[in-house]
A and B are shown apart, each in its own frame.
Chain A
Amino acid sequence: MAEVSLKNIVKTYGDVRAVDDVSLHIHDKEFVTLVGPSGCGKTTTLHMIAGLIDLDGGHIFIGKRDVSELDPKDRDIAMVFQNYALYPHKSVRDNLLFPLRMRKIDKNTADQRINRAAKILSIEQLLDRKPKQLSGGQQQRVALGRAIVRDPAVFLMDEPLSNLDAKLRLQMRTEIKHLQQELQATMIYVTHDQIEAMTMSDRIAVMDKGKVQQFGTPDELFNHPNNVFVAGFIGNPPMNLIPAQIVSEGGDKKLRMGQITFAPQSARVHDLINKAVGDKVVVGLRNTAIHMVAAGTPSAINTQVYTVEPTGDVTYVQANIGDKMCTISSPDVAYRGRLGDPITLKLDENRLYLFDELTGKAIV
């Protein structure tokens, strides 16, 4: 196992900088996820680590070695692909054997490794089948097996769960995380699903437009987003982001969101407002940081129900704050308001984030 360092790596396609000066340091035995919307550069970055895409700039280190110019086969990495990329004409056993055979590993060692991998993944009884005869989940296991037999320095995972149905995905999520800990492997995992990233990773790199927006633990990303993008991307439902303008009324700075003017009560929010550069900001509030309160509560916001979405253990209420549709967790799971029902909302000022509208950066 080994640590992995990306130093200012760049990939351009024509005028597009698909990967724009990305630097990451991934510790030994760490599970790191690259997450972001499609086209953010996460898969390109992973393929650059694998050596499948050439670098246009920067360096990649695996362990102490600069591998930037090496072929994939010389980088001591294994990779699991989105569509598994199992060799269709080879049996499961031959699929597992292939990377060993290509490295001229002797037959006995190879058999041992295959049997061990098959046991870890409980695919022993599938070894003589062809990939077409396997279910999606089984194919996924074989793909993992082909990576495990190699005993590589780093595992690279390219959206390995995205072809599975929802239930299987949850199960494999647990298994991959368990596997990583059991093998004490360094794992770099790419996904567009932030929940996958949050649940599996030691650290997450959120990417957008070819750049790393923030690199940190799941808790850091959730509780201290660097910018509007990370705030809106991490968390389910996503953070409510309400455009606002800082106005002065009677010497007091307030936040105007649409027709609503919100007067902050806490010193913390006043402090944030004072730090703002311009007067255009974005107010960020998680669904749990907006509370439904009794009508007439002071410094609360009056609005109406748009829809109510019960999910079983939580009930979400959609309602406008200013001009922005927001999602709020109802304190009462049984709440079933109808369209237009009046509700009163109180903002949790301890958990209110403020972002600069122009740069998107968090104001702290």
Chain B
Amino acid sequence: MLKNIWKHRWDYPYLLPALGVMGLLIVYPFFYTIFLSFYDTPSSRPEIFFVGLDNYRELLRDETFLLVVKNTLIWSVFGTLCPFLVGFLAALLVNQKLPGLNFARGLMIVPYAMGFVPASHAWRWIFHGDFGVITGTLQYLGLIKDPIPFLQSPALIMPSLILVNTWKSFPFVMIMVYAGLQTIPESLYKAARVDGASAWSQFWEITVPQLSNVLMVTSMLMFISNMNQFTLIEIMTGGGPAYLSEIIVTWIYHSSFQTLRFGLASAASVLLFLVLIVFSIFYVRTLTRSAVQG
């Protein structure tokens, strides 16, 4: 082992700057977070106190945190499913052999290309309770009388956020699925047509099985990025009203930088790490297994 390292000693200088930066900014914070999760960090005093698993106990007993976990699940599942379906449909559409579809594909990427910050502000304005364009249009058409409080109503807040995420993320799914569709040999469809398969059968017997890998990877990446989505929710609702749109990452942010409970927030971070690590392992497994099977 040492001999092997010595043999490759001239490889490491290439990595040194990157490893230094990563160690400082990624590895150290990672372990520091785990460390801090066992401590109480009272805002009134500079010292910190070892409390063992108290932070974890508190979290699992805290009804607000359990609500936040539930919100995170709803947000991540439906925030993945909806863009996924729309993006899949978009990919199938732009994959048809008709003129002008490349151009349409370029247009549809725009929401994905836009930053989360301006997009969130734009949607905040679109959803505006009194002067929002949706409310205004529906009122004008006489379909509703009272304004729709998209971002205030407990029933509407999650669907509204998921709608924004669908708009923002469906192009990502479209890009991935479209790339996957490109790799399916045309001859498979020709063979299926000769073999008598209808368009419907071709979709289920060829397209879906051939895309299984891409669909798996895409939904996994989407799910993880939704769990980690801070900007959109923070700007649109700040987690409110009354924690109804708070998800774990925004909760961690508010607990550390607003209520200054760094230890508790770190414990939540560690729990989130664990969940994400399980996901990552699952993800890498899927990738390597499908690579082996070809």
The smallest C-beta distance from B214 to any residue of chain A, in angstroms, reads 13
CB < 8 Å neighbour of B210 from A85, A89, A146, A150: A89
Interface residues of B in 182-226 (CB under 8 A from A): 185, 187-188, 190-198, 201, 205-206, 209-210, 212
The 9 A-B pairs with the shortest beta carbon distances in the complex, nearest first, are A99-B195, A73-B196, A102-B196, A85-B187, A85-B191, A89-B209, A72-B193, A79-B194, A72-B194
The docked-state distance in angstroms from the alpha carbon of A89 to that of B188 is 11
List A contacts of B197 (CB < 8 A): 73, 98, 102
Interface string of A83-110 (1 = CB under 8 A from B): 1010111100000001100110000000
Q: What is the total of A-B residue contacts with beta carbons within 8 Å?
A: 67
Residue of A nearest to B187 (CB): A85
Task: A73-B195, A98-B197 are known; give 5 further A-B pairs, CB within 8 A.
Answer: A73-B196, A81-B187, A83-B187, A102-B198, A150-B195
What size tier do the contact residues of chain A reach?
20 to 34
| B294 part of interface (Cβ distance < 8 Å) | yes
| A78 part of interface (Cβ distance < 8 Å) | yes
Interface of B is mostly: helix
The docked-state distance in angstroms from the alpha carbon of A97 to that of B194 is 14
What size tier do the contact residues of chain B reach?
20 to 34
- Report whether B195 and A77 are in contact in the complex, using a CB–CB cutoff of 8 Å: no
Residue of A nearest to B186 (CB): A85
The docked-state distance in angstroms from the alpha carbon of A146 to that of B205 is 16
| A220 part of interface (Cβ distance < 8 Å) | no
Given A87-B206, A89-B209, A89-B210, the answer on whether A82 and B187 have CB atoms closer than 8 Å is: yes
| A52 part of interface (Cβ distance < 8 Å) | yes
- Report whether B294 and A87 are in contact in the complex, using a CB–CB cutoff of 8 Å: no
- Report whether B205 and A71 are in contact in the complex, using a CB–CB cutoff of 8 Å: no
List A contacts of B188 (CB < 8 A): 85, 87-88
| A132 part of interface (Cβ distance < 8 Å) | yes
- Report whether A52 and B194 are in contact in the complex, using a CB–CB cutoff of 8 Å: yes
- 11 A-B pairs with CB atoms under 8 Å apart are A51-B193, A52-B190, A72-B193, A73-B193, A73-B195, A85-B190, A87-B192, A90-B209, A98-B195, A102-B192, A132-B294
Interface string of B242-274 (1 = CB under 8 A from A): 000000000000000000000000000000000
Residue of A nearest to B193 (CB): A72
CB < 8 Å neighbour of B205 from A51, A87, A132: A87
Residue of B nearest to A71 (CB): B193
